[in-house]
Amino acid sequence: MHSSELSDPTPYLDGDELLLTTGLGPAPDPAGYVDRLVAHGLAGLGFGCGLGHDDLLPALREACARAGLALLEIPERTPFLALTKAVAEARAADRYAEVVRTDEAQRALTAAALGEDDPDTGTARVLDRLTDRLGAWALISGADGRVRRSAPAGAARRAVLLRAEIDRVRDHPGPSSVTVAVGDGQVVLQPVRLIGPAVLVVGRDRRFTPVDRQLIGSAVSVLTLAHARSAAAGRAERRVRTAVLRALASLPGCGAEDVLAETWGPLPGGDLVAVALGGRATGAPPHVLLDALERAPGVAFHAELDGQVAALVGAGSVPAVLEVAGQVRGVRAGVSTPAPVGELGRALREAGRALDAAERRDRAVLRFADLAGSGLASLVRPEDATAFADAVLAPLVRHDTERRGDLVASLREWLAHHGQWDPAASRLGVHRHTLRARITRAAALLERDLDSPGVRAELWFALHTTDPA
């Protein structure tokens, strides 16, 4: 509320005020005076009678009626100060009521978010409370662009029309809130951290007040806190699962079954198959694969282990598990041979080796049974095999380079003929005593007993790695 006797008080007004006057301002030109007030967006005009004018000016009454501007007659016994105080007190009461309503709404949102063990259920409850309070619709778009939750359910379709704005808010490096005008209404977009970067979108067919925006900000806060709490609990559970899986991989006999029975429940009867999931091509963190396995049928137990995700499943459930895991972009899988409970460690090692080979061969799925049939070299990463061969054969290679010798070729031929001197010497075109001297020299440089079957096998593997032919 404001009082003025200027013929044009609009330069000193913001709009939406109730203007009080004793008639000095509008008297010269009532119609023009009213037009200026209406153009500036005033809420109404209060005319104080008995000071400058005993009654309302007829022309002023007609101008207000024509323009649709509210006109109040204020008798002389009612001072303007009393009206100003009344309006100030009413506005203070409104503000206090807004504070109370905002506090109640924030409490309700917090209770909705934290009152559920399941964060997804808590998210749905928060959206329901928020939309009820604001008379709006809301949705949450996840890191993959899909709508995770919406209230009401039909609000999910609005994400398509707002795709560009959602992507802009989600991909912004820092906190960024965007308000979009849609017809007579507004849509507010704010980033929110759930499992990954997401966006809360709230809209309605009228503008949001500052209090409304504060409530939307509170929803973002409680959602973030609720999911942070859930994420912390999830990380702790994943660490426990990893510890249990390590125990399964290392404990002999049925000790593994006892460990699992005391933590997550008994294993199903019969043999189990280990499935290892991962790969450099997938951009998904381990928890995404773990969540995918939660939906897969037949999984007895699953956990993260050494940068991979391993699952123990019934032999008949392997195809269903691979189908669910295959929905994660770029994931690769290694599958073990069936194993009884007492040999789960072997199954996990087989699955891990099969996964490594699947990565090297650019295969989505590789079974250890197929891998084992293709030779020992297929079980070892090429870079590891090359490093091993270079280290083992280094003394012989250095000797041949510096002294123009033939120790490497002689050793390869001798091993290829199972240590028989005459056939190997004939193949090399040298006397068998010459070959014997070379092999003796090689044994001395290698500092190994060439009569040992294990040493011969290692040397043959190294030589085959450097020259597979």
pLDDT at 108: 66
What are the residue ranges of helices labelled H in 115-209? 119-134, 158-161, 163-171
Say how far apart CA 206 and CA 13 lie, in whole Å. 25
**Three-point CA angle 89, 94, 99, nearest 5°:** 125
Q: What count of other Cβ atoms lies within 10 Å of the Cβ of residue 308?
A: 21
CA angle 245-251-255, nearest 5°?
95
pTM of the model: 0.42
Token look-up 């330069």 returns 11
- Which residue type occupies 243? A
The DSSP bridge partners found for residue 365 are 333
- Distance, in Å, from the CA atom of 406 to the CA atom of 211, rounded to the nearest integer, reads 87
What confidence score (pLDDT) does residue 284 get?
59
Instruction: Judge whether 119 and 227 are in contact, CB under 8 Å.
Output: yes
DSSP-H helix ranges across 382-431:
382-403, 407-416, 421-428
Please state, in angstroms and rounded to a whole number, the distance separating the CA atoms of residues 354 and 321.
16
- The pLDDT averaged over each successive group of 10 residues in the chain (469 residues) is 90 91 85 92 89 77 92 88 87 73 67 60 81 89 82 90 88 80 89 76 90 84 70 67 75 60 69 83 66 77 81 85 80 87 82 84 83 56 75 86 82 85 86 89 87 83 69
Q: Cα dihedral angle (408, 413, 418, 423), rounded to 10 degrees? A: -140
- Selection from 326, 346, 329, 353 nearest residue 361 by Cα: 353
> Which are the contacts of 439, defined by CB distance < 8 A and separation ≥ 6?
410, 411, 414, 450
Q: Quick one: tokens of 160?
A: 């398509």
How many angstroms separate the first and last alpha carbons of the chain?
98
